[in-house]
Structure 1
Amino acid sequence: MAEESGSKKKLIIIIAAAVIGLVIIGAAVFFIFFSGDGEDASEDKTLSDYAAQNANAANYVPMSKPFVFNVIEGKRDRTVQIKVQLMVSNARNEELARKHIPLLESALLRVFVAATAKQLRSPEGKNELRKTALVALNEATIKLEGQALVHAVLFTGFVLQ
């Protein structure tokens, strides 16, 4: 009889724990799905505010092909491949940059082929290369559009073999 009352207590505890668990799950479902009434209009307003604020946000213009070129290191030729994206400050500058991609690719290639293998191996050399490329790109866009279009040059892939 003592075993029977002990098993009944265990059964009651298990049932109580299950009921408490179901109540917690039900409350969570209620708050997740039903507490957001009337937020649709404010959510639409928030999205339009975000779009208006980010009209001047950074946009990225990928160069269509990676730049592949050789550099001489001692008596050996090394092959370099650099994938580049340009960061511009707004949608208008992105449109202008896309319009002038051949010019931008030419300016980047001129800067890249002038680099040395030692420069391409070090992080400081890569940063210097980015800065030099940024100056060359903006000089080219100032001549054509009367303004600097590119905010930053980003290397998204860099291989030196």
Structure 2
Amino acid sequence: MAEENEATGEAPAGKKKLIIIIVAAVLVLIIAGAAVFFLFFSGDSESEDIAKDVAVEEVQKLEANYVPMPRPLVFNVTEGNRNRTAQIKVQLIVDNKADTTLVRKHIPLLESTLVTVFGEASVDQLRSPQGKNELRMTALEELNKATNLVEQRALIHTVLFTGFVLQ
């Protein structure tokens, strides 16, 4: 077999694989070197500093802090002559850690507001995805009205339903 490779002028299969691996490794090193050069040695440092500052500000703006309500909210909903029980687990998203502390401070007010909003919902609203979304938006508006009264600003960014049971 080796005699056939020598007679035809071809390298053995093992040597071909080794050559291909070496060529691929050299290409990877060239590409990596070019990437490092362009990342570290191109552009002016002033624009890079500004870009870093903007990126840090955006990350701080996008910081989401979750505040779970301590217990599920349970309430009754009337459907014709029948009373149904609903249970909703809620988490609130606030923009920063300071607001998280304030929201935790006002949990009783927020629970009361949510029970009032949820108690006004119809069974049809609680069953449909659009109705649930409307309920979340209404809850957000009412929660921010309540926090405006006690803290003079809206604290809640988003209301999330993490558990939803209707019986």
Q: TM-score, normalised by structure 1?
A: 0.71
Shift of 1:13: 3.1
Question: Which residue pairs with 1:5 in the alignment?
Answer: 4
Shift of 1:86: 1.7
- Does the Cα contact within 8 Å between 1:62 and 1:85 map onto a contact in 2? yes
Q: Is the aligned partner of 1:102 residue 2:101?
A: no
CA distance in 2, matches of 1:8, 1:79: 88
Shift of 1:28: 4.2
Q: TM-score, normalised by structure 2?
A: 0.69
Question: Which residue pairs with 1:139 in the alignment?
Answer: 145
Q: Is the aligned partner of 1:158 residue 2:164?
A: yes
Question: Which residue pairs with 2:45 in the alignment?
Answer: none
Instruction: State which of 48, 55, 68 in structure 1 corresponds to 2:60.
Output: 55
Q: Is the aligned partner of 1:90 residue 2:96?
A: yes
- Does the Cα contact within 8 Å between 2:5 and 2:12 map onto a contact in 1? no
CA distance in 1, matches of 2:106, 2:58: 26
Instruction: State which of 122, 125, 133 in structure 2 corresponds to 1:116.
Output: 122
Q: Is the aligned partner of 1:128 residue 2:134?
A: yes
Shift of 1:18: 3.1
Instruction: State which of 65, 72, 79 in structure 1 corresponds to 2:85.
Output: 79
Q: 1:160/1:21 Cα in 2 relative to 1: closer, same or farther (>3 Å)?
A: farther
RMSD: 3.6
User: 1:34-78 CA deviation, whole Å, 9 max, x = no partner?
Assistant: x76997xxxxx8988655443333423222222233323344443
Query: Letter of the aligned partner of 1:83 in structure 2?
Result: K
- Count the aligned residue pairs: 156
Worse-superposed segment, 69-78 or 4-13? 4-13
